[in-house]
Amino acid sequence: MLILVLFVMLGVGAAVALAGGRRGATIRDDQAAGDARAEAQRWYERLGGQLVNLPNDNALARQALADAAERHQAAGAQLAQAGTVVQFQLARETALEGLAYVRAARTALGLDPGPELPPMAAARGTGMIMEEREMNGYRVGPRSSAATPYYYPGGYVEGRPVPAGWYSTPWWKTALAAGAGTVGGMLIFESLFGGHHGQGGPGMFGGGPGGGGFDLF
């Protein structure tokens, strides 16, 4: 009888400990999600404030501001549906991408771009364009101009790292929309960067945040 009582007590103790551990893990998960939500919300609100305060009547800044507004809308939708740490982190990443477009627009407007942003995970190691280049009718450069009115904050398109900079055409949108096997966007990519396989080229690209240079393939 004593042994039976001991087994019952041990079983109850194990069940209580297990329930307590689950409650503790749930609390920690909730706290982590709450922190991630607050962080994403902070950048989302900052992006909205920047969009309200900037004029959109400058031709060179207009497209970058339109892209920033698109990211603001997307980040808001992600925040509304998010419930996990990863989902809130994705909303934060979208808001940061929008702020990268805002920085580009501010530069095109002749304004101080503002404080540096945290590095975006999607653009890690992609580098940035450091000098102007033209090939086969396409042009890229480190600054906005009538010839390069489209800004890209850096990222991967069809597995290829694309550096941040200004482009004569938003070819990456075509590539992303077409999906695997795209032709038009990748042909432009090859036209612009085909001579730099495996290297950044002499002064052409600068290393991205945390990266040691730029490697196209």
pLDDT at 198 over 60: no
Residues 114-158 have pLDDT tens digits of: 889 998 988 888 888 988 888 777 889 999 998 999 999 998 877
Q: What is the mean pLDDT of the chain?
A: 78
Report how far residue 165's alpha carbon sits from residue 163's, in angstroms, rounded to the nearest whole number: 6
pLDDT number for residue 19 = 55
The residue extents of the domains of the chain are 13-108, 121-206
Angle at 61 between CA 116 and CA 193, to 5 degrees: 75
Cβ atoms of residues 98 and 185 within 8 Å: no
Q: Which of the pair, 171 or 140, is modelled with greater confidence? A: 140
Distance CA 53, CA 114 (A): 13
Per-residue pLDDT reduced to its tens digit, 77-126? 999 999 999 999 999 999 999 999 999 999 999 999 988 999 898 888 88
- The proportion of the chain whose per-residue pLDDT surpasses 90, expressed as a percent, equals 38
- pLDDT of 7 above 60: no
Which pairing describes strands 150-152 and 165-167: parallel, antiparallel, or unpaired?
antiparallel
**Where is pLDDT greater, at 136 or 169?**
169
| Predicted local confidence at residue 54, as pLDDT | 85
Cross-strand bridge partners of residue 150: 167
What Rg do the C-alpha atoms of the chain give, in angstroms?
Answer: 24
